[in-house]
Amino acid sequence: MLARTVFSRQLVRPAARLAAIPTASPSFALSALQRRLLSDSTRQAIDKAVASAPVVLFMKGTPETPQCGFSRASIQVLGMQGVDPSKFAAFNVLEDPELRQGIKEYSDWPTIPQLYIDKEFVGGCDIIVSMHQSGELAKLLEEKKVLAVEEESVSAEGEKKE
């Protein structure tokens, strides 16, 4: 009971102090507080996940069986863009409640899915779709060299076919 009281006080004081600052909005205060609550072990696990591949998607479900329309749309866009499967990793946030909440705090982004390219947060589904439509995503993926390369077919004699 004592630990709970101390923990509650720790939560209330920083938020109240930040909210009292005229330039700090309540959402800023909450955002700053959430970042403080992300445990070191969760932060390290997410750091490791983000670094596990050049293209990382935190999603609901798996690429084969997305569990929400936004995750499905994000996977479809990455597929249409031609992301190399060997340079892609997906993490199902539904399997781990700590990851599900932690990734939101880590990126300071409230929704899932979340896309990271070359360890940098890109955005959620709406940003992924918008970048896809404008051509920015194709340019970024090409720049980061994460697109699947179509192999040239080779004849039995070892000569390249055109």
Over 70: is that where the pLDDT of 99 sits? yes
Residue 43 lies in a domain: yes
Instruction: Give the orientation angle of helix 69-81 with respect to helix 136-143, to 10 degrees.
Output: 60
Domain count, the chain: 1
pLDDT tens-digit map of 9-63? 333 333 343 344 444 444 444 444 444 578 899 999 999 999 999 999 999 999 9
* Token code pair at residue 81: 């863009």
Q: What values do phi and psi take at 26, rounded to 5?
A: -60, -35
What CATH code is carried by the domain that includes residue 98? Answer: 3.40.30.10
Say which residue the tokens 């080779």 belong to: 154
Q: For residue 88, give the H/E element and its range.
A: strand 88-92
pLDDT class of 95 with cuts at 50, 70, 90: very high
**Is the distance from CB of 68 to CB of 125 less than 8 angstroms?**
no
pLDDT class of 149 with cuts at 50, 70, 90: confident
The pLDDT > 70 percentage for the chain reads 70
Residue 151 lies in a domain: no
Question: Residue 10's pLDDT is what?
Answer: 33
Residue 98 lies in a domain: yes
* Token code pair at residue 64: 């084969």
Question: Residue 55's pLDDT is what?
Answer: 98
Mean of pLDDT values over 99-124: 96
Question: Residue 36's pLDDT is what?
Answer: 57
Residue 4 lies in a domain: no
pLDDT class of 158 with cuts at 50, 70, 90: low
Among residues 80, 76, 79, 102, which one has the least CA distance to residue 91? 102
Q: What ranges in the chain are assigned the alpha helix state H?
A: 2-20, 26-37, 40-50, 69-81, 97-107, 125-134, 136-143
User: For the whole model, what pTM was predicted?
Assistant: 0.72
Domain that holds residue 40: 10-143
Residue 92: partners with Cβ closer than 8 Å, 6 or more residues away: 59, 60, 61, 62, 67
Interior/surface letters 67-94, b for 16+ CB within 10 angstroms, e for the rest: eeebbbbbbebbeebebeeebbbbbbbb
pLDDT tens-digit map of 60-84? 999 999 999 999 999 999 999 999 9
Residue 2 lies in a domain: no
Among residues 36, 42, 20, which one has the least CA distance to residue 98? 42
Q: Is the peptide bond before 26 cis (omega within 30 degrees of 0)?
A: no
